[in-house]
Amino acid sequence: MPATPHDRAPEAAEPAGAVKRRHGNTPIFFIIGLAVAAVFTVGWGYALMSYNGSGGVSFQTVAWRVLSENEASITFEVSGSRPTHCVILAKDERHVEVGQTDVEIEPGNRNITTSVDTVREASTVEVASCREQGSAK
């Protein structure tokens, strides 16, 4: 006759306070997790720092205004050690681009005022990007 669960010998009882070791308790998984988190953090930081790709160029909008239905102007500061190319965008109240212009800027700290021709009245003007020009060697 087959043995029933009641006929089996009881398993040896574990001493009180004993802790079973499972895979989650081993420190190797914790160390691997820390290493992966560190690599991810360093990679993410590097990506954020290099995302702008502008080198040493910094820019900031000082003021902008709508001059007419077909023109707007912007004044902005640019600081760079090499000649710089900036793209200026004008947008309407729906954030649709209504005008764009490119500005070439000499090296150094500069205050630039430029105008943007628009196809209809703009509600905002912004510096979209500024990048140093590469040397033609």
CATH pick for 58-132 out of 1.10.10, 1.10.3470, 3.40.50, 2.60.40: 2.60.40
Tens of pLDDT, residue by residue over 56-113, are 788 999 999 999 999 999 999 999 888 999 999 999 999 999 999 999 999 989 999 9
Token duo for residue 28: 């190797």
Pick the range with the lowest mean pLDDT from 46-50, 55-59, 106-110, 116-120: 46-50
Question: Which pLDDT band holds residue 20 (cuts at 50, 70, 90)?
Answer: low
Residue 66 is predicted with a pLDDT of 94
Q: Please report the pLDDT score of residue 22 as a whole number.
A: 58
Place of tokens 């500061």: 77
d(CA 21, CA 31): 17
Residue 94 tokens read as 């729906």
In this structure, the chain runs to a length of 137
- Single-letter amino acid, residue 79: S
Does this model's pTM top 0.85? no
